[in-house]
Amino acid sequence: MGQCYGKTIPTTENDATTSATTTTMVVSANQNQTPLPPSTPGNGSMPVKNTPGRSSHPSPWPSPYPHGVSASPLPAGVSPSPARASTPRRFFRRPFPPPSPAKHIKASLAKRLGGGKPKESTIPEERGTEPEQSLDKSFGYNKNFGAKYELGKEVGRGHFGHTCSARGKKGELKDQQVAVKIISKAKMTTAISIEDVRREVKILKALSGHKHLVKFCDACEDVNNVYIVMELCEGGELLDRILARGGRYTEEDAKAIVVQILSVVAFCHLQGVVHRDLKPENFLFTSGRDDADMRLIDFGLSDFIRPGSN
């Protein structure tokens, strides 16, 4: 649809004369102007009087489109916005993801550990007002480790310490090969870590009499380390044998392994102990034979439980 309006064109010099020719303009939606034939009194149409239209004379009211209907009303230098159909539609599942707290955590750790840049305006606190309570790293074990055992080469290393082979010098273990787990006291920085070592020795002493548990022999200490003396297993880890066989086990071979694992785990649970670190690396063979027995080791994460508790 378009808009229809009339434009009066004077035909005489005297404006008072009512005789005029009216030309009707039709403005359609496509901005094309189509002039209609002029209407005169002689061609059967009535003259249009007092019809509001666009006159060629200046109007007291400013037109919203001074340069025509097709011109843009925007000021000079401003380009019109692109059409909605030309804008690609993009869908974002999460346009603004929440910030990660990793930066704040790293900054806090750096400030706590002294890695961050110190502020110049910070006033240092006075130390020495209250003496720090030193941790009691005395376990009450034998202190004559060097007189009883002779250390050999390292045979394993874990998160809390390393294990070396050793030979007994005197006593019941004279000239016998044993394994010694060495835990540095320098790594015992909290009371919890000290209690973990005490609990490990206590559990090893309590768990005895099962053929698939590593045998506990002795516990010693000195100023720097704690020494846990155990049975030496020279057959290697279960993980090494699994990798050597490419993970392929017959049903009978797998049965022999699983039965030993379930047997020793059930024994620990009946004694009120959970190992909490069962993995192929913590099962050692007593010798290199294919039918050698396994031993469960490393009770550093184990703990006592009560029946019925989670």
Catalytically active residues are: 277
Which of 87, 54, 83 is CA-nearest to residue 69?
A: 54
Kindly write down the DSSP assignment for every residue of 2-68, as one continuous string: -EEEEEEEE-SS-TT---EEEEEEEE-TTS-EEEPPPB-GGGT-PPP-S-----SSPPSSPPS-TT-
* Residues linked to residue 226 through DSSP beta bridges, in sequence order: 183, 221
Which of 171, 153, 155, 292 is CA-nearest to residue 220?
A: 171
- Amino acid code (one letter) for 209: G
Asked if 224 and 184 count as a contact pair (C-beta separation under 8 A), the reply is: yes
The three-class DSSP label of residue 270 is: helix
Kindly write down the DSSP assignment for every residue of 131-190, as one continuous string: PPPPP------BS-HHHHEEEEEEEEE-SS-EEEEEEE-SGGGBT-EEEEEEEEGGG--S
Residues 190, 304, 274, 267, CA torsion sign: positive
Q: Tell me phi and psi for residue 21, to 5 degrees.
A: -105, 125
Terminus-to-terminus CA distance in the chain, angstroms?
80
Q: How far is CA 179 from the centre of its chain?
A: 40
Asked if 29 and 69 count as a contact pair (C-beta separation under 8 A), the reply is: no
Residues 6+ apart with CB under 8 A from 92: none
